[in-house]
């Protein structure tokens, strides 16, 4: 079971879409006359006048289940699920309309409610999207509905707008992160696909605090797309995909860094001179160790060739 939360300004547009859809079935309503579409719209608009300063008075929620849940759901069960959902979302004491749609393979319904409650107070929408995720998951587990193993199982062709872009970003980032060596390379790969990657820095520092991605008019934090796409988790995933370095490669890296340190030093300060001398000596020592490691890694055949070459060289010199 998943939910999509929307707020809007026009009861007319929302009600006509929900009720006049082909094969739509009104399952239940509260505080409304439901003989005609215009009556439903008028009743919603009448109550919103109790709180004229609330522009986005339209609450609209789409609840969907997996096709695997079809046998568990009838009209009565769907109404009970919708009402339980409203209670858990703290949407109470207000007008609502529950309508079943049958234009998709999977069962789903729409709830339209008035954000101006029966006392003229505003039903807050703070953190509604986050609460929606928790409520849907809890209800799915409680009622034994099908729990999808992950985003990979979602039917992309059914998605539109913001949801479609989110999944496009998820697929592109997941695929690219398995092929790159670092964040800079990931940024370049995604840019070629029309995806922007943006870092959030800690105030007054170069420390990266978060990451976001953009495509077209949409922009999301990495964690909004998926928890695995936060900066910390994405960095960790990229690092885990890298092949393990051999001892020789690790030592070679240290040598190169030490050599670069020697190149960069111009006029060493007294307090750092000893440290730089130590790094320089260490680089020479490690370079020698690399030579020994290379010799130890030579196979028997290569060692025989080296021995023959040395003997031939001695013969020529004599």
Q: pLDDT tens digits for 229-271?
A: 999 999 999 988 776 666 666 677 777 777 777 776 654 555 4
Please, are residues 65 and 31 in contact by the beta-carbon 8 Å criterion?
A: no
- H or E, element range at 283: helix 270-297
Residues 96 and 121 grouped into a single domain: yes
Residue at a domain's end among 190, 211, 240: 240
HEC readout, the chain: CEEEEEEECCHHHHHHHHHCCCCCEEEEEECCCCCCHHHHHHHHHHHHCCCCCCCCCEEEEEEECCHHHHHHCCHHHHHHHHHHHHHHCCCCCCCEEEEEECCCCCCEEEEEEECECCCCCECCCCCHHHHHHHHHHHHHHHHCCCCCCCHHHCCHHHCCHHHHHHHHHHHHHHHHHCCCCCHHHHHHHHHCCCCEEEEEECCCCCCEEEEEEEECCEEEEHHHHCHHHCHHHHHHHHHHCCCCCCHHHHHHHHHHHHHHHHHHCCCCCHHHHHHHHHHHHHHHHHHHHHHHHHHHHCCHHHHHHHHHHHHHHHHHHC
Residues 44 and 112 grouped into a single domain: yes
Answering whether pTM is above 0.85, one says no
- Residue showing tokens 């050599």: 259
Residues 28 and 128 grouped into a single domain: yes
Residue at a domain's end among 218, 240, 262: 240
The pair phi, psi for residue 137, each rounded to 5°, is -65, -45
The tokens of 298 are what? 């030579």
Residues 214 and 253 grouped into a single domain: no
Distance, in Å, from the CA atom of 37 to the CA atom of 43, rounded to the nearest integer, reads 10
Residues 15 and 42 grouped into a single domain: yes
Instruction: Give the model's pLDDT for residue 282.
Output: 57
pLDDT single digits (tens) 110-161: 999 999 999 999 999 999 989 999 999 999 999 999 887 666 666 677 778 8
The H-assigned helical ranges of 106-182 are 128-143, 161-177
- Residue showing tokens 């079971």: 1
Residues 168 and 256 grouped into a single domain: no
The fraction of the chain above a pLDDT of 70, given in percent, is: 77
Instruction: Give the model's pLDDT for residue 258.
Output: 74
Distance, in Å, from the CA atom of 182 to the CA atom of 282, rounded to the nearest integer, reads 28
Distance, in Å, from the CA atom of 247 to the CA atom of 316, rounded to the nearest integer, reads 38
Helix axes 270-297, 247-264, angle to 10 degrees: 150
Distance, in Å, from the CA atom of 8 to the CA atom of 48, rounded to the nearest integer, reads 13
Residues 137 and 220 grouped into a single domain: no
Select the more confidently predicted residue: 193 or 274.
193
pLDDT at 309 over 90: no
Mean pLDDT of 34-62: 97
Residues 108 and 231 grouped into a single domain: no
Residue at a domain's end among 240, 256, 285: 240
Model confidence band, residue 94 (pLDDT cutoffs 50, 70, 90): very high
Residues 143 and 164 grouped into a single domain: no
Task: Please state which of the ranges 38-47, 175-184, 243-252 shows the lowest mean pLDDT.
Answer: 243-252
Residues 235 and 160 grouped into a single domain: yes
Distance, in Å, from the CA atom of 15 to the CA atom of 37, rounded to the nearest integer, reads 7
Report DSSP state, residue 20.
S
Model confidence band, residue 82 (pLDDT cutoffs 50, 70, 90): very high
Nearest to 92 by CA among 44, 10, 30: 30
Instruction: Say how many C-beta atoms besides its own lie within 10 A of residue 1's C-beta.
Output: 25
The pair phi, psi for residue 205, each rounded to 5°, is -155, 170
The domain total for the chain is 3
Exposed/middle/buried for residue 14 (C-beta within 10 Å: 0-12, 13-18, 19+): buried
The tokens of 4 are what? 């999509």
Please, are residues 133 and 149 in contact by the beta-carbon 8 Å criterion?
A: no
Return the CATH number at 63: 3.30.930.30
Residues 21 and 80 grouped into a single domain: yes
Residues 171 and 233 grouped into a single domain: yes
Structural domain span for residue 109 = 2-148
């Amino acid at each position: 079971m998943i939910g999509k939360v929307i707020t809007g300004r026009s009861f007319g547009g929302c009600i006509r879409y929900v009720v006049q859809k082909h094969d739509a079935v009104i399952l239940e309503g509260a505080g409304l006359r439901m003989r005609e579409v215009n009556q439903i719209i008028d009743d919603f608009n009448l109550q919103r006048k109790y709180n004229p300063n609330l522009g986005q008075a339209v609450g609209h929620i789409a609840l969907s289940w997996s096709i695997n849940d079809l046998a568990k759901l009838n009209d009565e069960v769907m109404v009970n699920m919708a009402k339980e959902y409203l209670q858990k979302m703290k949407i109470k004491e207000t007008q609502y309309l529950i309508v079943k749609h049958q234009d998709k393979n999977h069962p789903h319904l729409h709830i339209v409610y008035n954000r101006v409650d029966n006392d003229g107070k505003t039903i807050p929408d703070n953190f509604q999207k986050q609460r929606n995720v928790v409520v849907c998951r809890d209800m799915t587990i409680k009622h034994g509905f099908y729990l999808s193993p992950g985003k990979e199982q979602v039917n992309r062709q059914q998605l539109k707008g913001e949801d479609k872009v989110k999944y496009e970003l998820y697929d592109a980032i997941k695929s690219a992160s398995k092929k790159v060596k670092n964040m800079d390379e990931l940024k370049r790969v995604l840019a070629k696909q029309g995806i922007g990657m943006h870092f959030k820095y800690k105030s007054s520092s170069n420390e990266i605090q978060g990451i976001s991605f953009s495509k077209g008019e949409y922009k999301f934090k990495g964690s909004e797309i998926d928890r695995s796409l936060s900066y910390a988790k994405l960095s960790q995933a990229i690092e885990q995909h890298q092949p393990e370095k051999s001892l020789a490669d690790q030592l070679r890296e240290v040598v190169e860094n030490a050599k670069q340190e020697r190149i960069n030093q111009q006029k060493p300060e007294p307090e750092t001179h000893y440290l730089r001398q130590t790094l320089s000596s260490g680089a020479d020592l490690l370079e020698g160790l690399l030579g020994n490691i290379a010799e130890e890694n030579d196979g028997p055949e290569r060692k025989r060739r080296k021995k023959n070459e040395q003997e031939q060289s001695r013969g020529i010199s004599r």
